Chains A and B, each alone.
Chain A
Amino acid sequence: MHGLRSLTVAVLAVAGLMAALPALAQPKLRVGYVVVPIQLGPLIFANDKLTVHKGKSYTVEFIHFRGSAPQLTALVAGELEIAALAFSTFAAGIVNARQDLVALADIARDGPSFSTVYGVLADSPIQTIPDLKGKVLAINAKGGAVDMAARIVLLQHGLKPGLDVTFIEAQFGAMEAMLRQRKTDVATFVAPFWAAAQRKGGIRPLFYQRDGLGTTQFLLYVARREYVAQHRQVLVDWLEDYVRGTRWFLDPANREEALALTAAFTKRPPSAYADWAFLPGKDYYHDPDGRLDLQALQRNIDALQELGILRRSFPVADHTDASLLEAALAQLR
């Protein structure tokens, strides 16, 4: 009797081990993210019906970060396999941190659809860019796309950023309150906060990020070249699932469900997203094939150098690998 029980336990243990082995054998992709639904990845991979390879050729974990700079550190430390980097962090990682990084796919672009708004109070005396002389302009982070676009627009109108216009830093969430309390003359609004500000009214756009930078390839998925070389097929499978999911979220037929999934993920009401998320012109552009706009990315990185923010520029083609995405698209077809 005792022998039979031991045998049963041993058989169950072996069966459990066999069941767990495939999961143990799959590489785990740890992917960074900052904000949902501007970044669709966490939503896509939280939904099993949108992924084919998840759980078969890889497992995935999305890790939240407050920005892209800490993701670069995590990537170098081997704590992340894929990082969601701003173009400026991607460039700084290559030029300043001397890391061999490879851009894999698009996350979001500013310009072709929504473009970040530089807003003023509706009753503000500021009507044109030259009216900004002697005023205060709030940006989210010095050296980022919002800062760069504002600098370029001011220079285009003969104003010296920092001298004629004072730049201050504030979090996007605090911008509207600061503007309404007149702590700043101009505040910058990304898509969700612009939609919220429009609901309340009393704020009008002065200019847009695209006025300074054109299209900005502002977020992109990045990995280390060494990792890409060692895990090619895993990344191809992951990208295939990513593109499939992106197309599903962008399909107007799925909008209600997409809003519900976003609300469930962020634990906020669907009404917080209803008037902007996944809507052309109201939300940031997501490429349905996940392709990067390499011309825009090159222009953005060149602008970093021209504004004296980055020591030198580099050919972005040297740090992209389109073959992975093309293979993923071929698999998808």
Chain B
Amino acid sequence: MHATPVLRRALGLGVLKRWASVIALFALWEGVCRARLVDPFLLPALSEVLRRGAGELWSGELVAFTALTLYRTLAAFVLAGAIGIAIGVSMSLSAPLRWFGEPVVSFAFPIPKIALMPIFVLWFGVFDLSKIVMTTVAAVVTVISATHLGTRHIDKYLLWSAQSLGTHRRALFWKIVIPAALPAILTGLQIALPMCLIVSIVTEMITGGRGLGGYMIYASRFAESDKVFLGIFLTALIGYVLTEGLAMARRRLLAWHPEETVMV
């Protein structure tokens, strides 16, 4: 006999099913550590990490560090989004810009951009600016590429239909091109957001200072592996919340789109 949907919802079975793999992984982690199969310095128990987390949150320092990383991540994401969409759309609209931009983007895409960090430190100093610029540079190419592809490959029947109805060029852009390219643009942004979080943390690890990256490096330097794992745990949590938030925004923005109306 199967539980009815109402009963399943009441028991939270849906949520449990969704998170079962993560819960199993956490249980395995705790079990391995409790059985002393690995040195606690190399892998501290999850309960130890969470206990340390409670203490650190109480001190307030970790909250400040997390807020700083979030600020750098979101500032870079907003910049990468604005610059990337503007450049991507411009490249689609202008042939000379496309001629100039396409090879540059192709060339820049595979570069491990974090290698530029020492140069950015010399140009922009070691404080927030160099970290935000580095993160923006790392993420912007993805947004440019996604926006350019999205705005270049629009269903031609959509454009012809609008043109045959006498739609003006500017209206064509805002009412047809941008909405039609929105799924691709949002996909670019969804890739860029976790990228911003990762690069922000790496910049903090390289240049030190505060933030979750600096917190983890400092903890690692002083053999406090429970704090390192706490940093990783927090990063995963923040990454999940951010990507879920953006996915929710996507569902709202594309409520009219077939991808949201057709369930496969």
Contact = CB atoms under 8 A, between A and B. Distances in A.
Given A169-B207, A174-B118, A178-B121, A97 B126 contact: no
Interface stretch (A21-29, A88-96, A126-134): A88-96
Contacts of B127: 168
21 contacts: A69-B223, A72-B223, A76-B39, A77-B42, A88-B222, A92-B223, A96-B222, A96-B223, A97-B41, A97-B223, A141-B208, A142-B208, A143-B218, A168-B207, A169-B126, A169-B207, A169-B209, A170-B121, A170-B126, A181-B122, A183-B121
A197 interface: no
A213 B223 CA distance: 22
A141 B221 contact: yes
B69 to A, nearest CB: 16
A124 interface: no
Interface residues of A, number: 31
B213 to A, nearest CB: 11
A333 interface: no
B122 A178 contact: yes
Nearest to A141: B221
Contacts of A88: 221-222
- Interface of A, secondary structure class, is loop
B30 interface: no
B225 interface: yes
B14 interface: no
Contacts of A98: 40-41
Given A97-B41, A141-B208, A142-B208, 10 more contacts: A69-B220, A89-B222, A89-B223, A97-B225, A142-B221, A144-B221, A169-B126, A169-B208, A171-B118, A174-B118
A12 interface: no
Nearest to B207: A169
A322 interface: no
Interface of B: 39-42, 118, 121-122, 125-127, 207-209, 214, 218, 220-225
Contacts of A183: 121-122, 125-126
Contacts of A69: 220-223
Nearest to A72: B223
Contact of B126 (A99, A143, A168, A177): A168
Nearest to B39: A76
A272 interface: no
Contacts, number: 72
Say what secondary structure dominates the interface of chain B.
loop
Nearest to B208: A169
Of B122, B222, B224, B225, chain A has the most CB atoms within 10 Å of the CB of B222
**List of 3 A-B pairs having minimum Cβ-Cβ separation, nearest first:** A169-B208, A97-B223, A92-B223
Contacts of A170: 121, 126, 207-208
A98 B218 CA distance: 18
Contacts of A184: 126
A316 interface: no
B42 A76 contact: yes
A89 B222 CA distance: 6
Nearest to A96: B223
Interface string A80-92: 0000000011001
A309 interface: yes
A92 B118 CA distance: 29
Nearest to B41: A97
Nearest to A139: B208
A310 interface: yes
Interface in A148-191: 168-171, 174, 177-178, 181, 183-184
Contacts of B122: 174, 177-178, 181, 183
Residue of A97, A98, A171 most packed against chain B (CB within 10 A): A97
A144 B118 CA distance: 21
Nearest to A69: B221
Nearest to B124: A183
A323 interface: no
Contact of B223 (A77, A93, A178): A93
A73 interface: yes
B19 to A, nearest CB: 31
A227 to B, nearest CB: 14
B224 A96 contact: yes
Contact of A174 (B39, B121, B221): B121
A143 B207 contact: no
A18 B180 CA distance: 75
Contacts of A96: 222-224
B42 A92 contact: no
